[in-house]
Amino acid sequence: MTRVKRGQSAAAPHRPWRILVTGDNPDSVELISRLLAEAGHEIDRAEARNEVLAILGTHAPHVLLIDVTHPGQGDALALIEAVRKSTSDSVSSTKVVVCASRGVSALFARDIGADEVLVRPFFAHTLLGTVDEVVAGPKEPAVPVTSQNR
């Protein structure tokens, strides 16, 4: 049996996660970072690709969350490729979540290695649930209790 602390789901026993948030819109990055921090996660923020790579080189986060506000952002897609091609086990095991508007960026992000894509608009609980699921894995489906499996 997994013991669950108040505020945790059974799927997320190792919370808080270390999350690196980056994106092309500082306001969006701030809002997403604040939501994640209020949920108890450890947040790093980076504005530029070289900052992201420097942070990844010093302490790999559980999740790299890339917010793509403007379609066709090559840096976001290049970051996903850099994480997936990394020779560092801690970096290559970093989960990548992309927040994007509907369109090519969202589809392409999954194709080149994003673990999950959140399509805008989304609710805070969807963001938090996605982060937990991508790191801890999906929740086990409930098994109905019947006379045969009691």
Give 42-52 pLDDT, tens digit per residue: 999 998 888 89
Residue type, 40: G
Q: What is the pLDDT of residues 76-110, one digit of tens each?
A: 778 888 888 887 888 888 999 999 877 656 677 78
Q: How far apart are CA 40 and CA 95, in angstroms?
A: 18
Residue 8's pLDDT is: 43
Beta bridge partners of 67: 23, 99
Domain residue ranges of the chain, discontinuous segments joined by +: 18-136
Best CA proximity match to 22, nearest among 2, 1, 41, 50: 50
Q: How far apart are CA 96 and CA 8, in angstroms?
A: 22
Q: What is the pTM of this model?
A: 0.78
User: Between 2.60.40.4070, 3.40.50.2300, 3.40.50.300, 3.30.1490.20, what CATH number should domain 18-136 receive?
Assistant: 3.40.50.2300
